[in-house]
Structure formats: C-alpha cells, structure tokens
Structure 1
C-alpha cells in the first residue's frame, strides 16, 4: 500500500513538472502586424511588416513579410526552427545563406533566435550576426528585440506586433 502511494505521488510530480515546463512557454503563435508607433526601429532598420508564427512543442515556423527595396515587391521568408539547438540553413538576403538556431529561456518566457549570414560582395566576404529575443508583452503583443553586428557596426531594433 505504501509503495503504491509512493508511485502515485511520483507519477503525479513528474506529470506536473512536465506539463508545467511546456505550459510556461510563451504562446507566440498567431498572425502579427507591425505597430510602428510602439516599435523602436531606428533610422535605417528594416522590420517585417507582418509575422506569422506557428508554434509546436518542439519547433516553430516563422513567416515574415518585409518591404521590398526601393519600393519593390514585398519579400516573404519562411523558416522552421527546432528547439533542440539544431542549426537550420535558410535563404537570407540576396541569395545569401542564413544559419539559425532557436532556444527557449529557462523560464520559457522568451525564445532566442540566433542567426549568422555571410555575404559576398566585390570578392570580399562579410558576416552579419543577429540575436532576436521573442516575448509576449503584458498587454498581449509580440515583442521582437534584435541585436545585430555587421561590418557597419552594432544596432538594436525593437519591433512590436499586434494580432
């Protein structure tokens, strides 16, 4: 009887711990539109005008629509990132290759997406690194803070999106 009770308590604790782990993750899924008034984009920064996130237990699919250059057609980019730290390669700016990983914070409130892109121009290779921190604000908006480092220097952009 005592052994059965101990097993029940153990199973209940494992179940609670497992469900709490996944329940604590921020819910990023949805179709989000850029709120320029609440965003801090900087003078030359480009942010996606819309983001669609499809979050699952082990991965997230992110589709971004960004404005075209010089009034050109908008560009759409989709990538699926797993939460196991696996590097995912996708197409970046002007045919470059982007290598990205995604990882949840320990408390599950933020998703960190780290990316590296290499560009070739006039026979020289340049590297662009960025770290995006995704979270849901207290008022239910999506916040994506991007810290980037490129040959042009470092920058931070805060994009806020509403459903």
Structure 2
C-alpha cells in the first residue's frame, strides 16, 4: 500500500507537467492559426466602379494582378494598359525579411521596394521608390500600399498613396477575384 502511494506521488507531478505541456502546444498551435498572414494568392481584376481612382484617373493602376504568396515572400504580376491601349506586365518578388528588392519598370526605370506584414498578419504593407529619367531629368515617386482581403477573401483592397514633385495622390483600388 505504501509503495502504491509513493508511486502515485511521483506520477502526479509528471501528469501535471504532461497536462501543462499539452495545453501549451494546443495554445501555440491555435495562436499560429489565428495570426497567420492572409493568403493574397490568386488572379484579381480591377473593379473601376467600386474603386476611387484619384486625381489622375488611376492611369498607373494595374487592371489585373496575379499574386502568389509564400511564407517568406510574395510574387506579383501587375498588368496595366498603356496610353496606346497595349497591355504591359511587370513582375516583382518581394521578401518579408526587410531586404529591398529592385525591379525594372517602364523601360529602364528602377523601382526599389520592401514588404512587411502588419502585426495581425492581415495587411501587407509595400513601400516603393521609383526613379524616372526623362530627357535627363529625374523624378522620384514614393508609393505606400496597404493590401488587405475583404468579403471572405473574394475582394482585394489596395490603398495606394504616391508622393512626388507633382503632389500626393491616393487611390483606393478594389480587385475582385477572377473566376
């Protein structure tokens, strides 16, 4: 009988430790699911009627997006329509480690970007600086974008604010998931 009581006293602390460990694992897994980054992957088409295209009529806004999200990076293809009516696609891959990524846009002009998730993982913030060279004159445009899913993942909202020597322009772009 004394041996049984002694064995139970030793077993009880082990049970408590196992119980606490199981609880910690369960909470950690739940927290990871709750705070996972939004999955922006898919093909998206601009809904001009629902968008606010700003003072320049959204000339720089992509009409289509193709997005591929990974755990540590995002790949984005932006398809715009030129003034001549031709489609132009630019591609970029942005990492979430804070490193700047350089992309060539509109001829030989450069765009440097960084991407970072909000603390809750629901908004992707992309900050870019583009330098355009026209006839020996350079113009710098800074762009801050906030990407967020709405309507059960069927709508991608992109709020974009650009600043240059021409002033500030804000766009609120609404993209619907292509079917």
TM-score normalised to the size of structure 2?
0.82
TM-aligned CA deviation for residue 43 of structure 1: 4.3
Q: Aligned pairs, how many?
A: 160
Q: CA deviation at 1:128?
A: 0.6
What is the CA deviation profile of residues 33-74 of structure 1, one whole-angstrom value per residue up to 9, with x for unaligned ones? Answer: 111110111342221111011111111111110002233x21
Structure 2 equivalent of residue 16 of structure 1? 30
Q: Provide Cα deviations, 1:73-99, integer angstroms capped at 9, x if missing partner.
A: 210011111112111111122311110
Q: Mind listing any 5+ residue stretches in structure 1 that lack a counterpart?
A: none
Q: Which structure has the larger Rg over C-alpha atoms?
A: 2
Contact 2:145 2:161 in 1 (8 A): yes
1:62 to 76, 84, 90: 76
Q: What TM-score results when the alignment is normalised by the length of structure 1?
A: 0.89
Alignment of 1:84 onto 2:79: no
Q: Which runs of 4+ in 1 moved over 3 A?
A: none
Structure 2 counterpart of 1:102: 115
Which of 46, 67, 71 does residue 34 from structure 1 map onto? 46
Distance in 1 (CA, whole Å) between partners of 2:82 and 2:135 is 23
Which runs of no fewer than 5 residues in structure 2 stay unpaired? 1-13
RMSD: 1.6
